[in-house]
Each structure stands twice: as structure tokens, then as C-alpha cells.
């Protein structure tokens, strides 16, 4: 049997008194009822039932010698329950054996009060253990708060560390790209020069051959003319003369494309300060397409819709990094064959660049976190989760905006808006640089 209604007192602390003796309960009630909110249980099972119903006292005064379920067993059950394991338990008992006291303390009790008990001692012990519990709770909150701060600090440090690794990786790739571009540029240069010379030499050879043919024809020697025609047919001389010019033109075109890729690689890998430069967005996008072309060419057709815009103030290499990242992502989202659409237009005082694809699309759940650092939907080892986060940071530096719309199975469209007000962005950039330096 349990008294379910608390005996109200001025304190907010709640105490549970568990004893099968009415005399002991009356003494405890008389001692504590004007100070604490009290509930009583006359046996161990009743106490456990009360707690199971949701009542969680701040402290329990628990008799040891009770029928059916003694105080030791009640204590053992309470300490095994995660919800009640931290509630202080003070045993009240007529037992004065040291072994009994040791057993109780080993089970998790915080103190012992011997019967018959002195009311003043009961008050002092209860007050002391409630204060200790308060201090323990306060310390636990501090520890939890500091632990959470350490976890957040660790996450921040890890993010900075990973971003630094990514930047070092990009710098290494940049140096490698610059070195490769330099190594390619030299042989490509003399191949181009040799092709120009070869084109001139072939023109002279064709001129000499034509002169010799005319000279032989003027000799009116039918036998010689017949042998000459047979030899020309055998060697496919007329076809070779026509095809060799086309081969040289195609080879020179290939060298020009190599030279363009080399220039774009050098531009992409060159160290860049934070000084904004007037840049043609169309040239920047074309350069990025050239760099990303190897990822795109087997997967997608590129459709371009460029509106003529005046140059804008930006950091061209960083902007190129954004475009390359979005173009590569677009290509990777297309499984077989698709279309990547690149649009440039002006809307009010914004230069707008749209990079859209007909790929697999992004789910709404992933779309919400797409610009978070280290968040990636790619397989393990295929993505760092930093690409779009870095794109977002670069555009913030430009006082720009990046947004995304996507539909599963239909594709994704990234929209980039860059301010065209040169004075405004220069002013904001200067303020950013001053704040970062301070």
C-alpha cells in the first residue's frame, strides 16, 4: 500500500520514505514533513511500483529489514536501473554489524542511520547528501557542457585540418599541372613549328612536281607520259597530294587545342591573391569547360546559351574552380548519355550562370545538406564532401549566391549569381580583407 499524495512542505526536494514500521514512519514524517515533499511506502515492492509509475525522488530513506523484499534487494534493483541509479539511498536500520553496513555501501548506498535515530542526525544527513547530489549534478552539467564544447572544437579543428589538406592537395595538383603544362608546352611548340615548316616544304614540293610534270608533257613522249600516269596511279599520288594538306591542317588544329589546354592549366594552377580582376565570364567558363572536357566528352553533349555581358570583378581562378567542380559533378551524375546546359545571362544587377544536367538528380533529404562541409553522397573514397562547400565559400567571398534545384530522375540545376556593381563588391572585398587581417 502506497500513499500517492505527497505531503507538501516548503522545499522542492522530494524524499521517499520506505519502512514497514508505522512508528518509524511517523518519526521520519514528524522530522521532515515541514522541510521536504514526502512520499511513503510500507514495503519494498510498493516503493519499486511507485518509482515504476514515474515518480523519481531526490533521495530515498530505505529500511533494511522488511518482509518479502528487503532493503538490500530494493537497493540492488534501483542501482541496476539507469533512471534510478544516481538517486542517493540512505539505509535506516537497527542492525549495528559492520558487515551489514559494508554490504549496503557496496550495493551503492551513500550512508547509514541507526535506529532508534536522532531527528537532528537524520536532518543533517539528509541535507548533506541532497547538497552533495546538487553539487554532483552541477559538476556533471559542467562536464557535459565542456565535453560538448570539446566535441564541437574537435569537429571545427577536423574541418579546418581537412580543408587545409584539401588546399594542400589542390596546391600540389596545381604545381603538378603547371609542371605538366610546361613539359607539354615545349614539345607541342616545336611540333607546331615543324608543322608550319612542313606545310611550306610540301607546298614547294607540289610546285616542283607540277613543274616537272609540265616539262615531261611538253616533250611529247607518249611512252614517258604512259609510265608517269601508271606510277601516279600506283602511288595514289593525286590522293596523297590532296590528303596531306588536310592532315597538316588537322594536326595544326590539334596542336592549337593542346596549346589552349596548356594555357588553361597554367591559368588554373597559378597562385592567385585576393585582388579582384575584371574578367569575361564567357572566357572563364570556356576555360573551365576545356579543363573538365575529359570528364564530359564521353557522357554528355554541352549546350551553351551565352548572353553578352560586360566584364565583372572577381577572382577568376577561384571562379574557374567553382565552374570546373560543377561541370565535373554534372558529368558524373549522368549514367549513360545526357545534356549539360550552360547559360550566362543578366538579371537586374546580377550576372547569372546556370549549369544544368539531365543526370540522376538529388533527393530532397540530401539537397538540404549539399553545401555542408564533408557531406557527400558519393561512394567511400570517391568524394571528400568538400567540393560544394568550397564552392559556397568562394561565392560568399564574391558576395555571390549559389542555389540548387533538383528532381530525382530528371536532373539538377545550379544557379550562380554574381554582383555586377564593381564599386560595391570592391568595397565589400576591402572590408572582408580588413576584418580577416584584424
What gap in Å lies between CA 189 and CA 258, rounded to an integer?
Answer: 10
Q: Which of 196-205, 327-336, 380-389 has the lowest mean pLDDT?
A: 380-389
Q: How confident is the model at residue 423 (pLDDT cuts 50, 70, 90)?
A: low
Run of H or E residues at 331 = helix 316-332
Range among 197-206, 339-348, 366-375 rated most confident: 339-348
Backbone angles phi, psi at 224, to 5 degrees: -65, -40
Starting at the earlier edge strand, list the strands of the sheet with 401-407.
Answer: 300-306, 338-347, 350-357, 411-419, 401-407
Residue 438 scores a pLDDT above 80: no
* Residue 4 DSSP SS3: strand
Residue 177 scores a pLDDT above 90: no
Q: What angle do helix axes 98-107 and 71-80 make, rounded to 10 degrees?
A: 20
Q: What integer pLDDT is reported at residue 5 of this predicted model?
A: 36
Read off the DSSP letter of residue 312.
E
**Mean confidence (pLDDT) of the chain:** 81
Range among 78-82, 192-196, 352-356 rated most confident: 352-356
| More confident: 200 or 117 | 200
The answer to whether residues 5 and 37 touch, using CB atoms and an 8 Å cutoff, is: no
What gap in Å lies between CA 62 and CA 93, rounded to an integer?
Answer: 8
| More confident: 177 or 192 | 192
Q: What percent of the chain has pLDDT over 90?
A: 24
Q: What integer pLDDT is reported at residue 357 of this predicted model?
A: 94
E runs forming strands in 218-367: 277-279, 300-306, 312-314, 338-347, 350-357
Measure CA of the first residue to CA of the last residue in the chain; give whole Å. Answer: 71
pLDDT in tens, 255-286: 877 776 676 665 555 555 567 889 999 999 99
What gap in Å lies between CA 79 and CA 89, rounded to an integer?
Answer: 10
Residue 299 scores a pLDDT above 80: yes
Mean pLDDT of 48-66: 91
How far are the Cα atoms of 102, 136, 139 from residue 81, in angstroms, in the given order? 21, 19, 22
Residue 335 scores a pLDDT above 50: yes
| More confident: 189 or 62 | 62
Does pTM surpass 0.85?
A: no
Q: What is the gyration radius of the CA atoms in the chain, in angstroms?
A: 43
Q: How many other C-beta atoms can be found within 10 angstroms of the C-beta atom of residue 49? A: 13
Residue 235 scores a pLDDT above 90: no
Q: What integer pLDDT is reported at residue 193 of this predicted model?
A: 83
Q: Which of 110-114, 205-209, 262-266, 424-428 has the lowest mean pLDDT?
A: 424-428
Amino acid at each position: 500500500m502506497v500513499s500517492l499524495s505527497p505531503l507538501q512542505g516548503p522545499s522542492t526536494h522530494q524524499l521517499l520514505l520506505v519502512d514497514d514500521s508505522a512508528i518509524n514512519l511517523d518519526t521520519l514524517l514528524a522530522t521532515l514533513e515541514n522541510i521536504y515533499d514526502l512520499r511513503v511506502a510500507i514495503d519494498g515492492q510498493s516503493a519499486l511500483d511507485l518509482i515504476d509509475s514515474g515518480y523519481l525522488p531526490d533521495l530515498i530513506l530505505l529500511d533494511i529489514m522488511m518482509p518479502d523484499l528487503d532493503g538490500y534487494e530494493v537497493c540492488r534493483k534501483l542501482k541496476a536501473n539507469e533512471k534510478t541509479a544516481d538517486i542517493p539511498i540512505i539505509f535506516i536500520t537497527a542492525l549495528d554489524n559492520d558487515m551489514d553496513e559494508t554490504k549496503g555501501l557496496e550495493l551503492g548506498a551513500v550512508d547509514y542511520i541507526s535506529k532508534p535515530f536522532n531527528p537532528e542526525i537524520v536532518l543533517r544527513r539528509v541535507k548533506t547528501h541532497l547538497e552533495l547530489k546538487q553539487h554532483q549534478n552541477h559538476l556533471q552539467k559542467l562536464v557535459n557542457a565542456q565535453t560538448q564544447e570539446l566535441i564541437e572544437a574537435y569537429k571545427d579543428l577536423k574541418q579546418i585540418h581537412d580543408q587545409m589538406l584539401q588546399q594542400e592537395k589542390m596546391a600540389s595538383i596545381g604545381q603538378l599541372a603547371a609542371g605538366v603544362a610546361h613539359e607539354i608546352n615545349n614539345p607541342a611548340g616545336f611540333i607546331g613549328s615543324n608543322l608550319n615548316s612542313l606545310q611550306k616544304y610540301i607546298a614547294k614540293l607540289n610546285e616542283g612536281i607540277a613543274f616537272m610534270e609540265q616539262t615531261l608533257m611538253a616533250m611529247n613522249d607518249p611512252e614517258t607520259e604512259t609510265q608517269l600516269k601508271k606510277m601516279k596511279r600506283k602511288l595514289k599520288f593525286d590522293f596523297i597530294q590532296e590528303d596531306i594538306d588536310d592532315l597538316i591542317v588537322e594536326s595544326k588544329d590539334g596542336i592549337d587545342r593542346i596549346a589552349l589546354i596548356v594555357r588553361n592549366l597554367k591559368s588554373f594552377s597559378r597562385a592567385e591573391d585576393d585582388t579582384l580582376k575584371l574578367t569575361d565570364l564567357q572566357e572563364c567558363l570556356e576555360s573551365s569547360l576545356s579543363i573538365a572536357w575529359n570528364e564530359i566528352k564521353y557522357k554528355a553533349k554541352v549546350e551553351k546559351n551565352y548572353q553578352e555581358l560586360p566584364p565583372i570583378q572577381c577572382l577568376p581562378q577561384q571562379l574557374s574552380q567553382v565552374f570546373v567542380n560543377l561541370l565535373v559533378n554534372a558529368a558524373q551524375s549522368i549514367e549513360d548519355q545526357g545534356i549539360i546546359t550552360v547559360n550566362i545571362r543578366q538579371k537586374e544587377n546580377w550576372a547569372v550562370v546556370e549549369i544544368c544536367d539531365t543526370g540522376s538528380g538529388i533527393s530532397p533529404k540530401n539537397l538540404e545538406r549539399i553545401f555542408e562541409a564533408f557531406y557527400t553522397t558519393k561512394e567511400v573514397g570517391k568524394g571528400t564532401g568538400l567540393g560544394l562547400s568550397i564552392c559556397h565559400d568562394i561565392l560568399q567571398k564574391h558576395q555571390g549566391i549559389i542555389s540548387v534545384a533538383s528532381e530525382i530522375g530528371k536532373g539538377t540545376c545550379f544557379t550562380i549569381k554574381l554582383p555586377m556593381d564593381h564599386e560595391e563588391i570592391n568595397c565589400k572585398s576591402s572590408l572582408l580583407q580588413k576584418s580577416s587581417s584584424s
